[in-house]
């Protein structure tokens, strides 16, 4: 048996809201766990490190291992100063021999295409789209944060759901969105709802402002029940996501000489959980690029982290006979 096939590897998917960890030995999953965010910009440095350490303790305990040959962590904002360093230090404390820290989009790409060419639309709390050639060149669109972009994301759907519902309210168009949001936020009047919605910073006494991404399931439920305003919001989200994919496709063709169609895939709760958005996006892509394969199941990003960890183990531990 080779050292590579006997390697114990760890994959980490550190998204904006949750973090997933999986330990595998060969092709067998030994343990998996889910914990809080390790994104410093979201929870702060101390909470991020505490969340990672707690998650690693759990996943190591369940797997019954005390060492890891190679680990790959895909983390939102991995390019921010100090992020790779602190995660690498924590890995070292847990006996990880070789490790890497990359962007969460990198592990998602490899979960979908395993180093090959393709286009990945990310639509969760935020959104962005990345295309990659088989030779490694990449193009991207979006990803400019909730304030400046993130069209089609959960945050965008929640925020624009309220905006469109207020416009409908002024125009006398029926919609259940404001009532649903009022229940979620605990507001009893429209004025209270608007005031809370405009509180983007802390409200005082450590109480955070509203999380618009948490409203996306509410908007989706309204659309599923026939709310026309909510349906328009979801259709616009799908149109924005389709535009991202097609623009990345165009960039790959114009800048890198792509001639054949490459597959497209997605990851993130918007497209995984909101059938209206996924169906509308699929229709729009079929109209614009009928030969483009579009995967209908969401990519599990942590599988890309495991794939990369195995490759890292292979590079660091050449094959040798027992």
What is the rounded distance in angstroms from the CA atom of residue 302 to the CA atom of residue 14?
Answer: 9
What is the rounded distance in angstroms from the CA atom of residue 145 to the CA atom of residue 122?
Answer: 13
**Average pLDDT value for residue range 211-233:** 97
Provide the β-strand partners of residue 73. Answer: 12, 101
Length of the chain in residues, anyone? 322
Q: What is the pLDDT of residue 66?
A: 87
74 belongs to a structural domain: yes
288 belongs to a structural domain: no
Q: What is the pLDDT of residues 266-321, one digit of tens each?
A: 998 999 999 999 999 999 999 999 999 999 999 999 999 999 999 999 887 654 43
Distances (CA, A) of 20 to 32, 34, 85, 128, 148: 7, 5, 19, 20, 28
Relative to beta strand 8-14, strand 18-25 is: antiparallel
Q: What is the pLDDT of residue 151?
A: 96
121 belongs to a structural domain: no
Q: What is the pLDDT of residue 70?
A: 97
4 vs 251, which has greater pLDDT?
Answer: 251
172 belongs to a structural domain: no
At 266 the three-state DSSP class reads strand
At 285 the three-state DSSP class reads helix
56 belongs to a structural domain: yes
Q: Are 23 and 30 in contact (CB under 8 A)?
A: yes
- Sequence-distant (6+) residues with CB within 8 A of 151 are 127, 142, 237, 240, 241, 244
- Sequence-distant (6+) residues with CB within 8 A of 77 are 39, 40, 41, 83
274 belongs to a structural domain: no
Q: Are 29 and 11 in contact (CB under 8 A)?
A: no
Domain of 37?
A: 8-110+301-316
User: Total structural domains in the chain?
Assistant: 1
Q: What is the pLDDT of residue 71?
A: 97
Q: What radius of gyration do the chain's Cα atoms show?
A: 21
**Residue 137: how many CA atoms within 13 Å on its side-chain side?**
11
Residue 207 has pLDDT above 70, yes or no: no
59 belongs to a structural domain: yes
Residue 36 has pLDDT above 50, yes or no: yes
Q: What is the pLDDT of residues 59-99, one digit of tens each?
A: 999 999 988 999 999 997 788 889 999 999 999 999 999 99
191 belongs to a structural domain: no
Lowest mean pLDDT among 147-151, 243-247, 261-265, 291-295: 147-151
CATH number, domain with residue 21: 3.30.420.40
pTM of the full structure: 0.82
Q: What is the pLDDT of residue 288?
A: 97
Residue 130 has pLDDT above 90, yes or no: yes
């Amino acid at each position: 048996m080779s050292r590579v096939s006997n390697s114990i590897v760890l994959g980490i998917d550190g998204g904006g809201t949750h973090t997933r960890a999986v330990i595998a030995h060969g092709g067998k999953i030994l343990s998996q766990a889910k914990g809080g965010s390790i994104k410093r910009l979201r929870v702060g440095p101390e909470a991020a490190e505490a969340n990672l350490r707690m998650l690693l303790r759990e996943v190591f305990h369940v797997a019954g291992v005390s060492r890891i040959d190679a680990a790959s962590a895909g983390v939102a904002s991995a390019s921010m100063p100090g992020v790779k360093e602190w995660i690498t230090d924590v890995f070292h404390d847990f006996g990880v021999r070789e490790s890497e820290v990359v962007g969460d989009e990198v592990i998602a790409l490899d979960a979908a295409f395993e180093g090959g060419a393709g286009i990945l639309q990310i639509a969760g709390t935020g959104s962005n789209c990345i295309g990659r050639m088989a030779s490694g060149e990449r193009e991207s669109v979006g990803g400019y944060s909730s304030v400046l972009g993130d069209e089609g994301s959960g945050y965008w759907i929640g925020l624009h759901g309220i905006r469109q519902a207020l416009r409908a309210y002024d125009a006398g168009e029926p919609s259940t969105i404001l009532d649903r949001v009022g229940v979620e936020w605990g507001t009893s009047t429209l004025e209270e709802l608007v005031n809370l919605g405009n509180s983007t910073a802390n409200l005082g006494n450590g109480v955070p402002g509203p999380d618009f991404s948490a409203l996306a399931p509410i908007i989706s439920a309204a659309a599923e029940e026939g709310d026309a305003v909510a349906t328009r919001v979801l259709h616009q989200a799908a149109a924005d996501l389709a535009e991202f994919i097609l623009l990345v496709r165009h960039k790959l063709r114009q800048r890198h000489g792509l001639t054949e169609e490459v597959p497209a895939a997605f990851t993130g709760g918007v497209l995984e959980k909101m059938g209206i958005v996924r169906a509308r996006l699929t229709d729009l892509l079929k109209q614009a690029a009928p030969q483009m394969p579009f995967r209908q199941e969401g990519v599990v990003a942590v599988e890309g982290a495991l794939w990369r960890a195995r490759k890292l183990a292979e590079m660091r531990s050449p094959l040798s006979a027992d």
